A = this chain, B = another copy of it.
Amino acid sequence: MIDVLEYLAAHARRVDEALEEFLSSYEGVPEGLHEAMHYSLFPGGKRLRPALALGACEAVGGAPDMALAAACALEMIHTYSLVHDDLPCMDNDAIRRGLPTVHRKYGEAAAVLVGDGLQAMAFEMLTHVRNTSVARDIAQASGPGGMVGGQYLDVETEGTKIPLELVRRLHRLKTGALIRVGARAGAKLGKGTPAQVSALTQYGEHLGLAFQIVDDILDESGDDDVMGKRTGKDRARNKSTYPSLVGLAEARRLADEAKDRALHALAAFGLQADPLRALAEYVVSRRR
């Protein structure tokens, strides 16, 4: 049996070390900006996207280091999106990972620039990955046809009741795309076969959905102190979420269904995919 928290922690350490080294050796950055960028990245959250990239790389028999640069890039992109999402003109959040958000601590202009800078650094890191299709996948997943597009839909539909189908599309873009590409990138960089890459992309697709439904559920029923951020804000904003549209019990069932589909996508994999299986169970059972 995999201890998933230990697995996440081990991969998070590896990613943190690589990120720390990249950032500290990065030259020519104004001091205050460097500090704010460091603040945004450390201490990190679950580092789920990097763990998926490293896990998928291992699942196809690759050494985790083959996916390390891409894993770091994904985490920088994820972090930039959080910094921008927290801005007053977006979600206007004051707390993230139990600490003041970047704009609360360093000001709005700095927060915009921290996000912009992290995105550029992520793509710089991806130029060290000798597989341009991975960089292209990540650019697409994080761009206007992916994460940025999902965030746009989120802002555009805020305060209006929208059908489940649109909630699903929004989630697929906003959080799903980057989670999916994490697994896909890891599979490619571990030199998986096309069938393996396709299966792990499917795994990431379903896992992303499960993750987001559980996120909605935790926002509805979670504890601020455990979550490290304000909960109940979806309801306060009249946001259409899985629980608000189908009820908590059905939302929970849909999350489990998505998790089962993620596991099913791993059917052809052996023991090497056990960490990914454990991650899928973790995603639906987590309390934060």
Contact = CB atoms under 8 A, between A and B. Distances in A.
Contacts of A81: 116
Name which of A29, A30, A115 has the most chain B CB atoms within 10 A of its CB. Answer: A30
Nearest to A121: B143
Contacts of A135: 123, 127, 135
A240 interface: no
Interface in A145-174: 145-146, 148-149, 151-153, 155-156, 173
Interface string A108-138: 1110110111011101101110001101100
Contact of A110 (B109, B142, B155): B155
Main secondary structure of the interface of A (DSSP, over half): helix
Interface stretch (A31-39, A50-58, A93-101, A199-207): A31-39
Contact of A28 (B33, B116, B145): B145
A284 interface: no
A123 B135 CA distance: 8
A199 B84 CA distance: 39
A139 interface: yes
Nearest to A170: B30
B136 A124 contact: yes
Contact of A152 (B90, B113, B123, B127): B113
A74 to B, nearest CB: 13
Interface residues of A, number: 51
Contact of A112 (B89, B121, B123): B89
Contact of A148 (B32, B117, B142, B148): B117
Contacts of A34: 144
A231 interface: no
A272 interface: no
Contact of A27 (B33, B37, B123, B145): B145
A87 interface: yes
Contact of A132 (B32, B109, B127, B143): B127
Contact of A145 (B26, B80, B146, B149): B26
Name which of A116, A146, A156 has the most chain B CB atoms within 10 A of its CB. Answer: A116
6 contacts: A30-B153, A33-B144, A89-B108, A110-B155, A120-B140, A127-B139
The 7 closest A-B pairs by CB, nearest first: A120-B143, A124-B139, A28-B145, A117-B144, A89-B108, A127-B136, A123-B123
